[in-house]
Amino acid sequence: MRVIAGTARGKNLQALPGEDVTRPTINRVKEAMFSSVQFLVPGARVLDLFAGSGQLGIEALSRGARSCIFLDRSPQALAIVTANCKTAGVDRQSDIRHGEAMAFLANIRGPFDLVLLDPPFHQDLIQQVLPALQDKLAPGGVILAETEREAVLPERVGSLVRTKQYYYGKIMVSRYEREEQA
């Protein structure tokens, strides 16, 4: 697993062994995700909500994001995130936090320009966090949610609207944007 583009391009990142705590995003999915938001990333405030290895947030920072909050409930995953941020040279823009997603979202203000969601599969965590994210997303902001292909995600959650879905083998990436009030 490595950083694809930007200042940390080619840096190798660590992941915890097995897929019970982290499941690294394959490079072609990561490349497609970031191609879809390439103009949003420079200067963005990013939230990597189920950080795992931190590779998605690190990719955003490498491509010019201003800052990234990495959140995970696993101390072992956060140790990997910390090491990976140092390896990639993005530790100064990184805010690494331990906790549960819903409790964190209840106490953070935002706004975030880009929210990256790659939770454990088959637990319906995206459906749980989307309502809490609608007020945390900046105008023009984007949520990218990576799930198993067969996940059923809502087309709309409050002010959030699913604008696209992409399929890559067993993976689905859903893009949500905040609908602007007329």
Q: Are 8 and 58 in contact (CB under 8 A)?
A: yes
- pLDDT for 99: 96
Three-state SS at 148: strand
pLDDT in tens, 125-175: 999 999 999 999 999 999 999 999 999 999 999 999 999 999 998 999 999
Q: Residue 87: which CATH number? A: 3.40.50.150
- pLDDT for 21: 47
Domain holding 54, by residue range, is 30-178
Taking 3-state DSSP, the helix, strand and coil percentages for the chain, each rounded to the nearest 5, stand at 30, 30, 40
**Total domains, the chain:** 1
- pLDDT for 17: 76
Regions of the chain with pLDDT less than 70: 18-24, 181-182
Joined together, the tokens standing for residue 85 give: 């941020």
- pLDDT for 78: 96
- pLDDT for 181: 63
| Residue 90 to residue 57: CA distance in whole angstroms | 10
| Residue 44 to residue 168: CA distance in whole angstroms | 26
The residue with tokens 């697993």 is 1
Asked whether residue 1 is domain-assigned, the answer is no
- pLDDT for 60: 97
Instruction: Report the greatest alpha carbon distance in the chain.
Output: 48
Asked whether residue 150 is domain-assigned, the answer is yes
Asked whether residue 147 is domain-assigned, the answer is yes
- pLDDT for 22: 55
Asked whether residue 78 is domain-assigned, the answer is yes
- pLDDT for 58: 97
Asked whether residue 5 is domain-assigned, the answer is no
Compute how many other C-beta atoms are within 10 angstroms of the C-beta atom of residue 61.
Answer: 30
Q: What is the pTM of this model?
A: 0.93
Asked whether residue 20 is domain-assigned, the answer is no
